[in-house]
Amino acid sequence: MRGCHSLKEFHVYLLDQYFSMEAGAQAAKFANDFNVTWGKQNVNITSGRRGDVVTLKLTKEKGGAGFRSLSPFLYGQFSMKMKLIKGNSSGTITTFYMSSQDNYKKWCEIDFEFLGNVSGQPYALQTNVYIQGVGNREQQIYLWFDPTAAHHTYRFLWNQELILFFVDNRAIRVFHKATDLGISYLDYQPMYAIGSLWNGEAWATEGGRVKIDWTQQPFVASYTQWNVTDSCKVQNATGTAGQHACYKKAHQSSYGQAPNLALSKTQIKNLRWVRKNYVIYDYCTKNATATPECARNWP
């Protein structure tokens, strides 16, 4: 319970512990849900008390690594516990994201990207939303804790009305469906759950000014207690039957029904708290054409 300084924070802590226990019980084995897609020599999988722990490593000689869910999904909740690189991690990028990946013409993606930092500096988390191949919706925030000291939970809620980003059950970003404003929504393209660690020194730290210090290698991040069970797997990613089944399931599942179709008072308060205290960069202040969607997505 370390770090909880109020009754409200304690309640958030309890919710996170409950969600973590559920994730550990339901998604214990890496091979049941994921496979390694690149950098196999840099992946280590060990069994832990609450399931497998997957460690990714980045070195100058052998590069990084990544893994992907066995199936794509359409709507649901997707969470991962992650512990980031200790010490000087400048130039590295550690990720957990959802991506269509196999459909480049209609590329869709929702991202957690953790940008490496110089030792002693706060970690930056970048989120983004790609729809039909168009991104440019980056938001960066500082995390309010040390993400290298222990595993923390990062979660997406994606349904037919909104996409919510959570850190330890605290809402940090929302993207509402706004087709009435002429803005496309991510409601047609199945996506995979993906994790990776790679060299992003061209832009990751201070816009690429600070490069990777290879004397600090290997750079190591770990993943555990993932949960993709409260979601809909698309059984046939190339046809429409699987997608229609997931649309139907969304309206019958907790993630696609109230209260998950709109922001709660607590989530609104969390989003305002993040905006006031932790935002580094927000595309909404740089792109005048984004004003309609930004007005809807920042309560």
Averaged over successive runs of 10 residues, the pLDDT of the chain (299 residues) comes to 40 44 56 96 92 97 97 96 97 97 79 94 95 91 97 98 98 96 90 97 94 97 95 82 92 96 98 97 85 90
8 A C-beta contact, residue 172 and residue 48: no
Within-domain flag for 1: no
Would you give the distance in Å from CA 58 to the centre of its chain? 20
φ/ψ (deg, to 5) at 280: -100, -50
Q: How many domains does the chain have?
A: 1
| Domain CATH for 53 | 2.60.120.200
Instruction: Tell me 87's DSSP state.
Output: S
**pLDDT given for residue 292 in this prediction:** 87
Phi-psi region of 283 (alpha: psi -120 to 50; beta: other; left: phi over 0): alpha
Helix, strand, coil shares of the chain, percent, nearest 5, are 25, 35, 35
Instruction: Indicate yes or no: pTM above 0.85.
Output: yes
Choose the catalytic residue: 22, 61, 109, 161: 109
Domain assignment present for residue 14? The answer is no
Instruction: Return the closest-CA partner of residue 99 out of 138, 73, 118, 136.
Output: 73
In-domain check, residue 82? yes
Q: Do the domain assignments include residue 7?
A: no
Domain annotation covers residue 4? no
Nearest Cα residue to 50 out of 34, 68, 26: 26
Query: Is 113 an annotated catalytic residue?
Result: yes
Would you say residue 2 lies in a domain?
Answer: no
Report the chain's terminal Cα–Cα distance, integer Å: 30
Active-site annotation holds for 109: yes
Q: CA 51 → CA 78, 245, 251, 263, distances in Å?
A: 16, 30, 31, 32
Which DSSP string do the residues of 107-147 spell out, in sequence order? --EEEEEEEP--TTSPPEEEEEEEBTTB----EEEE-SS-T
Domain with 51 in it: 30-297
Cα distance between residue 237 and residue 102, in whole Å: 9
Q: Which of 61, 113, 161, 206 is catalytic?
A: 113
In a domain, 182, yes or no: yes
